[in-house]
Structure 1
């Protein structure tokens, strides 16, 4: 699972320090992180247009639009984003929490202070995304009916000739279609293809051993073909560290 983090600070040296900390954290945690940097609030607002940002790291004391003003605007744009303020003064903390900031970090920033804060952010994002997955819906269309199924209820998809079977924890459905079209429609952040005939919900993988995935909710073992071993291992690795 990937994350996008935006850094806004008018001190280029400070930006470089935070970038290096993020890269070190990526290596240690095996997470995929995209980084967006800017030196002003105005530049940040331009760069994030059309993008989903998970975490904002904002310097409070900047020329022009300061971090607190930028934080207010970002909160209006993205109510769920995690905002962390970077400041040299504790007095800014109360103002930060009025914007529903996740936390603040005092300068000078050390990796020992930065790492646990980032781990807390990842845990919060995991909770947010877990909630989002229960809200996400897969729309199943047949000539006879349309059914909307929550992602959280889907255990796996199975391709059988020209049909696709949707196996849920409490029911099963079938429709005519291809895996290619299905994967175009699905948010594949939540699913992994493990075999030419199977796509499994990452949240329903109980274990993986001997090229088999065990789906506990339906007491079923799914085969993992050689071509998809890497996909499965990457998904499992991300789920362990997210």
Structure 2
């Protein structure tokens, strides 16, 4: 699931900081930025995003006024206020805001907001089913490899190429990490970092190198896979009984 997102803030540095933090979350796709509510409204009408991160105190139309306007749309986007002013919180939630981020932003606060946003967007879960049958097709230079998903240790993106590391070899593919993640839905794969997808049945250890840096030790591999701080809690929930 990918949420198409727009960020609206008249302070360039603040907007850049928020975009940087949001880009740490692969579920979000930042499709536009605007320096005013008026420009933001134009982008929203043109691009029809799923979510909008919106400053409140801006020259001209305020964020509150824009949110009120968005409520009149047939399919309004989710609104998350991102502001330096705590005084508007009550008004914001009366407008059904998903969350209220206070500047200066921090990665933990942003991660919690993204989680709430995804929960709002997440459709009802279908009944549990068995993992799909079949093999993962990987196009090589002169052949197609058919891999058993259970034997893949991890997958990562480097530049324009994706690398699939199995118990015996490493193969390259032009298929994006997101496409492979979708193909492997139903198997025990988990996104631990923007650029890494791991078979959690292969995890042996989660190592903390510092307060914000984690790595995974995997079976049948000498490699150590980085874990984004934002994914550590959910990863532990998936791994532990």
Into which bin does the TM-score normalised by the smaller protein fall? 0.5 to 0.7
How big is the alpha-carbon RMSD for the aligned residues of Structure 1 and Structure 2? 3.0
Q: Which has the higher contact order (CA 8 A, sep 6+)?
A: 1
What SS does the aligned partner of 1:36 have?
strand
- The alignment of Structure 1 onto Structure 2 pairs a total of residues equal to 152
Change (3 A) 1:32 1:113: closer
Once the two structures are TM-superposed, the CA of residue 48 in structure 1 deviates from its matched residue by: 2.0
Runs of 4+ in 1 over 6 A off after TM superposition: 238-242
Label 1:32 to 1:93 Cα distance change in 2 as closer, same or farther (>3 A): closer
- 1:150-229 pair list within 5 angstroms: 203=126, 206-208=129-131, 213=132, 223-227=133-137
Alpha-carbon spacing, 1:224–1:121, altered in 2? closer, same or farther (3 Å) = same
Query: Following superposition of structure 1 onto structure 2, how do residues 59-74 of structure 1 map, counting pairs within 5 Å?
Result: 59-74=55-70
- Higher normalized helix content (fraction of residues): 1
Question: Aligned equivalents of 2:49 and 2:190: distance in 1?
Answer: 19
The answer to whether the Cα contact below 8 Å between 2:5 and 2:28 also exists between their aligned partners in 1 is no
Pairwise CA distance, 1:37: 0.7
TM-score using structure 1 length? 0.54
Q: Residues of 1 paired with 2:104 and 2:34: CA distance?
A: 19
Pick aligned residue for 1:103 from 79, 99, 103:
99
Higher CA-based Rg: 1
Describe the superposition over 1:129-155 as per-residue Cα deviations: whole angstroms up to 9, x where unpaired: 34xxxxxxxxxxxxxxxxxxxxxxxxx
- Show the counterpart of 2:119: 123
In structure 2, runs of 5+ residues without a counterpart are 139-148, 150-179, 193-230, 235-241
Looking at structure 1, the residues matched to 113 and 106 of structure 2 have their Cα atoms a distance apart, in angstroms, of 11
